[in-house]
Amino acid sequence: MRKYLIVVSTITMLMASLISAWAAEITASITYIDVQARIIVIDHRAFHIPKSIKIGAFKVGDQVTVVYEIVNGQLKVVSIKIG
């Protein structure tokens, strides 16, 4: 029984790490930007922008493609480009 629990725990941890590393992509127009909070809203979803990305380069109405990850329930931008 103990070996079974160890195996199940290991598989669960591996699955959790794979799910957290999963990235998705969306292309849509920016509907809201909060420069201070570093958040943009696209398609009714709030995305958190890392400090490595210049948020000032974007404006409401820009059509963007965003690659993002879900980290602790938040949508974290990995990369963003206009067009």
Amino acid in position 73: G
**Whether the predicted pLDDT of 75 surpasses 60:** yes
Amino acid in position 28: A
CA gyration radius for the chain?
Answer: 17
Tell me what pLDDT residue 23 has. 81
> Could you tell me the two tokens for 58?
């974007």
Q: What is the mean pLDDT of residues 2-25?
A: 58
| Residue partners of 66: CB distance under 8 A and separation at least 6 | 25, 26, 27, 42, 47, 77, 79, 80
29-64 residue pLDDT tens: 999 999 999 999 999 999 999 999 999 889 999 999
- When comparing pLDDT for 6 and 46, which is higher? 46
Amino acid in position 1: M
CA 73/CA 23 separation, integer angstroms: 13
**Whether the predicted pLDDT of 6 surpasses 80:** no
- When comparing pLDDT for 16 and 40, which is higher? 40
Tell me what pLDDT residue 22 has. 73
